[in-house]
Chain A
Amino acid sequence: MANKNAPLHLFDRPNSYIGQSVPRPEAHNLLAGRGQYVDDLQLPRMLHAAFLRSPYAHADILTIDTTAAADSAGVVAVYSGADFADQVTPWVGELTHLTGLRSPPQMPLAIDTATWQGEPVAMVVASSRALAEDACALIDVQYQPREAVCDPVAALLPESPVIHSEYKNNLAWERDVTAGDVEPAFADPANTVVEQVLRFGRHTGVTLEPRSSVVEFNPAEQTLTYHYSGQAPHMMQAVLAKHMQLPEENIRIIARDVGGSFGIKIHTYGDDIATALAARLLARPVKFIADRLESFASDIHARDHHIKARLAVTSDGTIAALQMYDYTGIGPYSMYPRTSAIECNQILNLTGAPYKIENYHANGKVVFQNKNMMCQYRAVGHPVAMAVADSLLEQAAREIKMDVVEIRRRNLIEDNAYPVVSATGMKFADLSHQQALERLVELMQYEKLRKQQSTANENSIRTGIGLVSMVEVTNPSPMFYGIGGAPISAQDGATVRMDAAGALHVSCSITEQGQGTNTIIAQVAAGVFGVDIKRVKVTTGDTATTPYGGGTWASRGAGIGGEAVLLAADALKQQVLEVAAIVLQSNADSLDISQGNVIDKSDSAQRMSLDELGKLVYYRGSELPAEVQPEFVATRHFRVSDFPFVFTNGAMAAQVEVDTDTGIVKVLDFWVVEDCGRVINPKLVDEQIRGGVVQGIGGALFEECLYSDDGQLLNATMADYLVPMAGEMPDIHIAHIETPTSTSTLGAKGAGEAGTGGAPAAILNAINDALAPLGASIHTMPATPERILQALGEVPT
């Protein structure tokens, strides 16, 4: 609340770009094929890495014979896990604030035992990727297969094999949350109780640019440069420094253009670390670009939840109690350094979060299994939490014959109730669930759609409408990761300086993956300082040239990095005005900056241009009094300190058509009302939401990493793993409510994950709305045609 009294006129100034859809300056570069992605780099003497991966989900490695591979054409080095053992310290995916979370140490390549199909076992470094792959085929590994543990529920049964011999069972973490007492509500015969088993399949990011690393090592200076396709350069710097035992300052992380990330490229992968180790051992640049098969097999997967949940409502639709049990499979290790327990934790925290719920009980079990690792991906936990609560709520509404909008009206936390602490201990402020719902009803013309629906459902095509009310975790404080010991910064920094021509140069620790980070940085800086946005140059994605900070994740860039830019630009402006006041024999308080000129505040009369002032300061400093040494550079940092997170809220709706003959679901329409606080760039926010919704629709209808019972990934190609393509996607209608967060002057909350968090629940509800008259329902994602037909009893389960 520190800045509550800050003047709002910051955003009403002539140069303010807040609220304007400023186009992204880098777009023209990318549109001309002039992007600079990691794989575009060609460095002198650069080598290429390829990995041999375990074909078994669980196997002891008996022998590795690399003789033939080492003799293969173009091969410079072949490594097995043992070769790296003294080059790197193991990493452990634990956080101290997730009490009891355990995970064994991990190394870049499997040693002795392979624990998922796709785990890197050996590495070849050669003069081309093709030659490296040729040599991989010549490595002879003898395995002794072991029984694979795949199902997270069965993995906890006493008879299950235990993956890690140092533990007695396959449990990585368990948390139990209780508020009030759920039992009386479920026992009360006057209440209606609905109960479901919900399953959320694994899916993955499918960033079009795969994970990509080019690493250079300078042995004389002991410096390492990592060309990184990712979101958190300073985290990567800290991870490499710690485990390669190099001083942090000797490591430079550079992220130029990043071809999508969505949480995939923010973790520690053995193959990336092996690439850095090879570059150090060989003192030559090494490139590793995951191919698509490797991406499916080794990029983190998301979700994989088996949930049993029940909801009790009174006869007037008031939620009386909510209870859930979540089993989630995370693969053989907890991912480092963010851990694989966060998604389950989020689900326990966020299920039912938009509603007034006094009696709540949730239990989550995070379970080791022999599949690829599961970790944080766009909208961590949100799609699961929202789908559990809102599908039960809509089912309850149907059972008590209440409209699904009406039941939400009766249960949403009132807009004038904030601040509110939820049953799970979440602190909510500045939310607008009621406004969002009413705006949604208006936007989608809900009543009209319902009338059309009642007359439309005659043949095998059934239409359905589904809604969701949601929250989104954004702008996290150090309570998210840092407090638990992870090298992850919750604060961000911005440095703003003015050059001799009166232009601004901003460097900031948040990063760009296409969402428009650099654009909104320029918007904020230009507006607060007082120059045309064309005079602002932005640098991000380089640990050598930006202040320290967390990067871009958890919908935090605009809210945290944006505020740091605002504070730095304002501080620079004060500096400039003080120097200008000396030059103009005026008073800094009576001056302002507008359109690149120092002006009189009272009548906007132009006094001198910034170009003139810059040249005076930098070239003709002798004209200044001796004691005046202008800096014209300011750095400010910002973190959220009053709340663990800054929540946003929204309401979404889907209209779908279910073909009961084929089981195919067609999304006819989709509506979003989002309150992400102050909107800096409406176009960019809308596009974040649209992209997010489509990603959510993918998870709800198409995307699943399918495994056989023995842990073989069955569909690791883009032909077999279905992603949303243009032909199946609807246009998405968006409206905004702006309730600025009181935690900052800028007032921006996050918007990057809302679509992905809310869309699956809306889609699921719409399908079940369509199926309800037929007495059928589905609670498995993705809701594939086969599963729809199974739900209808048309094909066997």
Chain B
Amino acid sequence: MNHAQQVDIELIVNHEKINCRVPVRVNLVDFLRNELGLTGSHVGCEQGVCGACTVEVDGTMVRGCLMLAAQADGSTVNTIEGFAESGRAGHLQQAFATHNALQCGFCTPGMLASALEYLEQGGVADRAAIRQHISGNYCRCTGYQAIVDAIEEVAGQTETTDGQ
């Protein structure tokens, strides 16, 4: 493969239309970080194991390190910056802050993305199910309990709202 080969891509990132020429070998998270300055998505392992680069592509949470930027051509991408600015993750952000569900913050954007996925798929306030759902996101600092507390609280609020 010619490493210098480049392709033109067009995509929507956080509601903004992007046209860019990228080297074919650049992965999505490096593109988001280095080309668009969206540094909220983090690079932890580059193997799809740690979850720090989790972003949303066409409605699905994916690993930004396991997808090439070129593959996102024509896609709609949302990152932590988008979730925060749109208010979509507001309830989770507040619960994470209240429960101190983050320390160094490096896993946090990916963890929030997975938590958001859990809630938007109708996840309930079940600690074991929450633990299972976020078990692809590595956090070295918290020991996970506070993260589970935060997601459980929001899931509980959602259930209550639904019940009404």
Q: Mark A204-221, 1 if CB is under 8 A from B, else 0.
A: 011111100000000000
Q: Which of A26, A206, A208, A695 has the most CB of B within 10 A?
A: A208
Given contacts A27-B100, A27-B102, A731-B145, contact A208 B50 (CB under 8 A): yes
Assess A691 versus B142: contact at CB under 8 Å? Given A27-B96, A259-B106, A727-B131: yes
**Residue in chain A with minimal CB distance to B146:** A687
Decide if B42 touches A30 in the complex (CB within 8 Å): no
Interface residues of A in 61-98 (CB under 8 A from B): 73
Question: Is B96 a contact partner of A694 (Cβ separation < 8 A)?
Answer: no
A90-B109 Cα distance, complex, nearest whole Å: 40
A690 touches B146 (CB 8 A): yes
Tell me the B128-142 residues at the A interface (CB within 8 Å): 130-132, 134-142
**Docked pose: A30 CA to B93 CA in angstroms:** 9
Which residues of chain B from 17 to 65 have any CB-CB distance to chain A below 8 Å in the complex? 23, 25-26, 33-34, 37-47, 49-50, 52
Query: Which B residues lie within 8 Å of A7 (CB)?
Result: none
| Complex contact B104–A259 (CB within 8 A) | yes
SS class of chain B's interface: helix, strand, loop or mixed?
loop
Chain B residues, Cβ within 8 Å of A513 = 103-104
- Cβ-defined contact, B84 with A31, below 8 A: yes
Once bound together, how far apart are the Cα atoms of A695 and B140, in whole Å?
7
Also in contact, A726 and B134, with CB within 8 A (given A23-B98, A292-B46):
yes
When the two chains form their complex, are residues A130 and B25 in contact, meaning their CB atoms are under 8 A apart?
yes
Q: Which residues of B contact A683 (CB under 8 A)?
A: 100
Q: Give the chain A neighbours of B41 by CB distance below 8 A.
A: 33
Answer whether residue A684 sits at the interface, using C-beta atoms and an 8 A cutoff.
yes
A439 on the B face (CB < 8 A): no
Interface check B80, CB cutoff 8 A: yes
Provide the bound-state CA to CA distance between A729 and B98, in Å.
21
- Answer whether residue A160 sits at the interface, using C-beta atoms and an 8 A cutoff: no
Query: How far is B56's CA from A282's CA once the two chains are assembled, in angstroms?
Result: 40
Nearest residue, chain A, Cβ from B144? A726
Known pairs A130-B25, A291-B46, A691-B142; A35 contacts B97 (CB<8 A): no
B65, chain A: closest CB distance, angstroms: 10
Of residues 12 through 43 on chain A, the ones whose CB sits less than 8 Å from some CB of chain B are: 21, 23-24, 26-28, 30-35, 37, 39-40, 42
Whether A626 sits at the interface, judged by CB under 8 Å, is no
A37 to B139, CA, bound (A): 16
Do residues B138 and A718 form an inter-chain contact, with CB atoms below 8 A? yes
User: Given contacts A32-B93, A719-B49, is CB(A260)–CB(B104) below 8 Å?
Assistant: yes
Closest Cβ of chain A: how far from B85's Cβ, in Å?
Answer: 8
> Which residue from B81, B134, B141, B145 sits with its C-beta under 8 Å from A32?
B81
Please tell me if A257 contacts chain B, counting CB pairs below 8 Å: yes
Which residues on the B side are within 8 Å of A755 (C-beta)? 143
Q: Are B25 and A729 in contact (CB under 8 A)?
A: no
Known contacts A208-B104, A514-B103; A690 and B145 CB within 8 A of each other:
yes
**In the complex, chain A residues 695-733 whose Cβ is within 8 Å of any chain B Cβ:** 695, 717-719, 723-729, 731-732
B residues 65-118 touching A (CB-CB < 8 Å)? 79-81, 84-85, 89, 93, 96-98, 100, 102-109, 112
Contact B80 A33 (CB under 8 A): yes
Shortest C-beta distance, B43 to chain A (Å), equals 7
- Closest chain-B Cβ to A286's Cβ sits at a distance in Å of 16
Is B147 part of the contact surface with A, judged by Cβ < 8 Å? Answer: yes
* A718–B45 CB distance below 8 A: yes
Q: Give B19 Cβ to nearest chain A Cβ, in Å.
A: 20
Q: How far is the CB of B97 from chain A (nearest CB, A)?
A: 4
Contact B52 A208 (CB under 8 A): yes
**Are B50 and A718 neighbours in the complex by a CB distance under 8 Å?**
yes
CB of B3 within 8 A of CB of A130, answer yes
Q: Smallest CB–CB gap between A216 and chain B, Å?
A: 19
Nearest Cβ on chain A to B25's Cβ, whole angstroms: 7
Report if B13 contacts A (CB, 8 A): no
**A504-527, CB < 8 A from B:** 513-516
Q: In whole angstroms, how far apart are the Cα atoms of A206 and B143 in the complex?
A: 14
Return the chain A residue nearest B48 by Cβ: A719
The answer to whether B142 and A208 touch across the interface, beta carbons within 8 angstroms, is no
Shortest CB-to-CB span from A48 to chain B, Å, is: 10
* A32 & B80 in contact (Cβ 8 Å cutoff): yes
Q: B39–A40 contact, CB under 8 A?
A: yes
Q: Cβ of A499: which chain B residues have Cβ within 8 Å of it? A: none
Q: For the complex, is A56 an interface residue (Cβ under 8 Å from B)?
A: no
Taking the closest CB of chain A, its distance from the CB of B69, in whole angstroms, is: 13
For the complex, is B125 an interface residue (Cβ under 8 Å from A)? no
> Is A258 at the interface (CB under 8 A from chain B)?
yes
Question: Is the Cβ of B142 less than 8 Å from the Cβ of A690?
Answer: yes
Complex contact A732–B143 (CB within 8 A): yes
Q: Which single member of B3, B42, B45, B138 contacts A134 (CB below 8 Å)? A: B3
Q: Closest Cβ of chain A: how far from B58's Cβ, in Å?
A: 20
Q: Give the distance in Å from the alpha carbon of A30 to the alpha carbon of B110 in the complex.
A: 11
Question: How far, in whole Å, are A725 and B37 apart by their CA atoms in the complex?
Answer: 30
| A732-B105 contact, Cβ under 8 Å, with A32-B40, A34-B40 | no
* B106 contacts A37, C-beta separation under 8 Å: yes
Residue of A nearest to B96 (CB): A31
Query: Across the two chains, which residue of chain B brings its CB closest to A291?
Result: B46
Contact B42 A209 (CB under 8 A): yes
Identify which of A28, A259, A262 contacts B42 (C-beta below 8 A): A259
Asked if B3 and A208 make an inter-chain contact with CB atoms under 8 angstroms apart, the answer reads no
By a CB distance below 8 angstroms, the chain A residues around B40 are 32-35
- Nearest CB on B from A476, distance (A): 23
Cβ-neighbour of A732 out of B45, B49, B140, B145 (below 8 A): B145
Is B4 touching A73 in the complex (CB atoms < 8 A)? Answer: yes
Cβ–Cβ < 8 Å partners of B154 in chain A: none
Residues in B with CB closer than 8 Å to A690 are 142-143, 145-146
Give B78 Cβ to nearest chain A Cβ, in Å: 11
Does B155 sit at the interface, judged by CB under 8 A?
A: no
Minimum CB–CB distance for B50 against chain A, Å: 6
Contact in complex: A208, B102 (CB < 8 Å)? no
| Chain A residues positioned under 8 Å from B137 (CB to CB) | 725-726
In the assembled complex, A693 has its CB within 8 A of some CB on chain B = yes
Q: Which residue of A lies closest to B105 (CB)?
A: A30
Closest A residue to B82 using CB positions = A33
Among A39, A515, A726, contact of B135 (Cβ-Cβ < 8 Å): A726
Chain B residue at smallest Cβ distance from A688 = B103
A31-B108, A292-B44, A683-B100 in contact; A729/B131 too (CB < 8 A)? yes
- Contact between A729 and B143, CB atoms less than 8 A apart: yes
Q: Which of A33, A134, A257, A717 is the one whose CB lies under 8 Å from B109?
A: A33
Return chain B residues, CB-CB under 8 Å to A694.
Answer: 142-144
Known: A33-B39, A42-B34, A694-B144. A717 touches B45 (CB 8 A): yes
Report the 10 A-B pairs with minimum CB-CB distance, sorted nearest first: A33-B40, A30-B105, A259-B106, A514-B103, A514-B104, A33-B80, A694-B143, A727-B135, A32-B84, A690-B143
If A687-B143, A726-B130 are given as contacts, then 14 extra A-B residue pairs at C-beta distance below 8 Å, sorted by A number, are A31-B102, A32-B93, A33-B41, A33-B109, A35-B39, A73-B4, A208-B42, A260-B140, A687-B103, A691-B142, A718-B49, A723-B138, A723-B140, A725-B136
11 pairs of residues in contact across A and B, judged by CB atoms under 8 Å:
A32-B84, A37-B42, A207-B104, A289-B43, A292-B44, A690-B145, A693-B143, A695-B140, A725-B136, A726-B148, A731-B127
**Residues in B lying within 8 Å of A, measured CB to CB:** 3-4, 23, 25-26, 33-34, 37-47, 49-50, 52, 79-81, 84-85, 89, 93, 96-98, 100, 102-109, 112, 127, 130-132, 134-148
